Amino acid sequence: QKEVEQDPGPLSVPEGAIVSLNCTYSNSAFQYFMWYRQYSRKGPELLMYTYSSGNKEDGRFTAQVDKSSKYISLFIRDSQPSDSATYLCAMRGRGQKVTFGTGTKLQVIP
Amino acid sequence: KAGVTQTPRYLIKTRGQQVTLSCSPISGHRSVSWYQQTPGQGLQFLFEYFSETQRNKGNFPGRFSGRQFSNSRSEMNVSTLELGDSALYLCASSLETTGQDEQYFGPGTRLTVT
């Protein structure tokens, strides 16, 4: 079993839809959680970072962490064609390497 | 503040050669990690350096090595290149103080081995 599980998609939604991306994990030592967006042939771009359970909002993006269920989510409101990319969840424990999900490919249809 | 920079951005090498890639982290960041990304395997962790010491290591053969300098800049070296080493090599840095453990990535070096 992988430490981090992420549905690879692809996920196709109409413009303006709310997108929900999810990851589950098994390592209780994970304390820090990140979401990255990666466009084709580019480096990943950090979107959200959190280290506590609950919600964190930044513009159209909301990151949700439930440590008791070992489950994290990223919500994108009012999705735009420019949001079409691969989204990677990532997590780490203190002093540990970062472990990534396999990424979910998202396509927002105009 | 400048982001993570990587040089060179593109590289073409022949099988059997060796290559050195360079990474300059964000100013003040002490941790540098290296990843290999291929379409089939996704992001694969190579190694992580913190204050010039290798702190974590992935499951890559000994042909892959790295180091970190006192100014936190890092290099990775691949010897005896194989066709399968063709990939995007990404470097990421983090500050690692309380509450600031997130990683920031550079644009990557795209290595093609022929």
Q: Please indicate if any CB of chain B lies within 8 Å of the CB of A43.
A: yes
- Tokens matching residue A101: 């999900």
- Residue A104's contacts (CB-CB under 8 Å, 6 or more residues apart) are A6, A7, A8, A9, A10, A11, A21, A86, A87
Q: Which residue of A has its CA nearest to B41?
A: A102
Q: What is the pLDDT of residues B13-50, one digit of tens each?
A: 999 999 999 999 999 999 999 999 998 788 999 999 99
Q: Which residues of A are less than 8 Å from B48 in CB distance? A: 97
Q: What is the pLDDT of residues B53-64, one digit of tens each?
A: 999 999 999 999
Q: What is the pLDDT of residues B62-111, one digit of tens each?
A: 999 999 999 999 999 999 999 999 999 999 999 876 666 788 999 999 99
Q: Which residues of A are less than 8 Å from B58 in CB distance? A: 97
Q: Which residue of B has its CA nearest to A34?
A: B102
Nearest partner of B33 among A99, A89, A36, A61, judged by Cα: A99
Closest CA of chain A from B100, distance in Å: 9
Indicate the residue of B99, B103, B107 with minimum beta-carbon distance to A34.
Answer: B103
CB count within 10 Å of CB A110 equals 8
